[in-house]
Structure formats: C-alpha cells, structure tokens
Structure 1
C-alpha cells in the first residue's frame, strides 16, 4: 500500500523511472562498459571509451547492445579504470555485479558531429572499411577495433580461409584512413602480411 501523496511502485514507494523507447541496434555506438561493483551500495565502476571520460553522462540514457534495455547513470567520482557511477534502480552489490561486462551504447545521433577533416572519426566508422596495402592490393575489411589496454588494435578479416589479421592502429602501420572513401591503407610489419 502506498502512502498518501506518493505513487505506488517498487520498494520504498518509489516509482520506477520510465524506460525510454527501444533503439535500433544498427544505430548504436559503444561508448563504455560496466567493469565491476564498487562497494556494497550498488555503485558500479565504468570503463569509458570516450575521449572525455565524463562525457558518457552527457548522452542521455545508455543502452545495452540490443537497444532494448536503457541505463541512466550519475557519475559519483573517478576510479583507476575510469569512473564510479550510480545506475538508476541498482541499489546493492548483487545488482551491480550483474551488470559487469555490459557494454553501453548510445544512438549515433546523440554523438557530436565530426569535422570533415579525415583525421577524426568514431571507431564505429572504421568497421567495414576496405583495407589495402600501400601498393593498392586488397588485404580485407575491418571487422572490429579492440582496446586491450595498450592501444587500439584493428581486427581485419582477410579473404578466403585466411585467419584474421590483428594490427596495431598506429600511424606507422595505418598511414591513411579515409572514411569518406570507405578504405584505409596499411603498412604491416614484415611477417604479418
């Protein structure tokens, strides 16, 4: 039973915040990941993938990869892996632990526009680009951009049965990226070709 003047809802008489409408997964860009619980009161460590770590709180609700589950966060402080956040509706360590590993996305339209300068792009823009060597021979297509902690790594699908190529995403190995042209030029180290 709810108290007079309070809406009926979950424990404590608080109404659950309304869920935003689902978002098309094809329109989502990954910007962060829940890392682990922080303490016992439902706080969560967040690993942001944005240039400005605190920008993750500026994009509105964050979505899971399906675009059907939304999360509203509030930054409570810094942490060595990124940030500590409070997630609406997450009030204990068990609920926080259940979020570990969940990648967080926003609709592409929520991100700031990028200047057309061929030096700036979102990692999501690189997925699917044709990859050629410096002689112009097709090497494959970008399958993913990974961040294992020491810098970005491109995963390149090669034609046929050949295994994917993993290449550090540095100017030395990737001297040219043209999102507008849909391709990148690579100069892989010997033995990696």
Structure 2
C-alpha cells in the first residue's frame, strides 16, 4: 500500500527568525536579534509576526550594532513604553517567504507534520514540533498510538533519514526514550537502583 503524503501547506508554516530585545532610547526603537544565516536579511522578508501569526511587525529602519544584533524602528511603535511590551517576543516569517535551500538542506519548520517511521518503516508517529531548550534541537513526536509526546534529540543517529518530498522522517530512538517514562518497565528502574544496605 502506498503511504499517503500528509498535506503540509508551506504557507501555513512559520519559521523563527529572531527575537526582540530591550528598548533603545525613548522614540520606540528596540533591539532585534537575528537568527537567520544572513542576519541582515531579516528586514527583507516583509512583515514579521508573533508565534501565533496574530500580530505583524513592519521594520521601517534597521542599523547593525553587532553582526546579528540590530536596533530597529517598527511601524506603530513610537515610544519606549510601546517598545517595552515587545521585549523577548520571538518573531517569525512565513516559510514561503524564505529562500529555497539545496536539495540536501531544509528549514526546521519543514520537519513539522512529517510522518515518523521506525527503522523498519513501520508507523512511529508524527512530528509535532521542533524545540530548542538551549542544548540542541529536540523533536517532539506524537506517537502513532496517541498518549504522551516523545522528546528526542534531533541528531543523525536518531533521525538517520529525512525525505521531505515523500513526507516522512525515519526515527531510531535511544532505548531509554523509546516510550514515555510511565510506559517503561518498572524492573528497569529497580535494576538500576542498588539494594538498601543491611543495618
């Protein structure tokens, strides 16, 4: 049976490209940290949005203060108080507005929605999100049988194959993360704990 490729509309996906920082001065300017490969390109994608896509931010002017740090002026943000409300707000751009990448490259947003298969090509789940807690990218997988999502490190060992055109990613999870903690065998924990010493 042919595997059905999920409908993953590019226009529905947002890519994290930066984060607003502290206000700069009293005229509504604020800092913007760029996460893009070419930091200055962040001002060329058109209006940025918040994570929900509900608010738009149009950059009227930008000047670099460090290689990936800019002081920007946003449309409609005219004083320091307004700028303060945006501190630490992450900004996104629609995937379709980003440059195309080489055949063997991809944006992390491209992974969201992929069908996850195990190494035997049996259904494993679906990629719900790609997270970053500061120690590397993490795949959040919704198991095929439902229940608690799995958090797996996004490495070549765990994800040895990705086929965006076919809509799948192969997952080879570390043994200790192959199932949510509450499904793991209690004997494993017991074996790992030394017996109490005799008194």
Count of residue correspondences: 167
Q: Any idea what SS the aligned residue of 1:113 has?
A: coil
Correspondence 1:127 to 2:112:
yes
| Structure 2 unmatched runs, 5+ | 1-9, 179-199
Correspondence 1:108 to 2:95:
yes
Measure how far apart 1:153 and its partner are.
1.0
Higher normalized helix content (fraction of residues): 2
Measure how far apart 1:78 and its partner are.
4.1
Correspondence 1:189 to 2:189:
no
Q: Which residue of 1 aligns with 2:47?
A: 61
Q: Is the 8 A contact 1:46 1:82 kept in 2?
A: yes
Correspondence 1:179 to 2:164:
yes
Q: Is the 8 A contact 2:24 2:71 kept in 1?
A: no
| Structure 1 unmatched runs, 5+ | 1-24
Measure how far apart 1:51 and its partner are.
2.5
Q: Is the 8 A contact 1:139 1:158 kept in 2?
A: yes
Measure how far apart 1:122 and its partner are.
1.8
Q: Any idea what SS the aligned residue of 1:162 has?
A: coil
Q: Which residue of 1 aligns with 2:32?
A: 46
Measure the CA separation in 2 of the matches of 1:26 and 1:111.
11
Q: How does 1:1-193 map to 2 (within 5 A)?
A: 26-41=11-26, 42-65=28-51, 67=53, 69-73=55-59, 74-78=61-65, 82-115=69-102, 117=103, 119-193=104-178
Measure the CA separation in 2 of the matches of 1:35 and 1:81.
12
- Residue by residue, what CA displacement relative to the aligned partner does 1:139-170 show, whole Å, maximum 9, x if unpaired? 21000111222221111111334311111111
Measure the CA separation in 2 of the matches of 1:151 and 1:81.
20
Which TM-score applies when normalising by structure 1?
A: 0.72
**Judging changes above 3 Å, is the alpha-carbon distance between structure 1 residues 168 and 31 closer, same or farther for their aligned structure 2 residues?**
same
Which structure has the bigger radius of gyration?
A: 2
Measure the CA separation in 1 of the matches of 2:99 and 2:92.
14
Over aligned residue pairs, what C-alpha RMSD do you find?
2.6
Measure the CA separation in 2 of the matches of 1:106 and 1:160.
33
Measure how far apart 1:80 and its partner are.
9.4
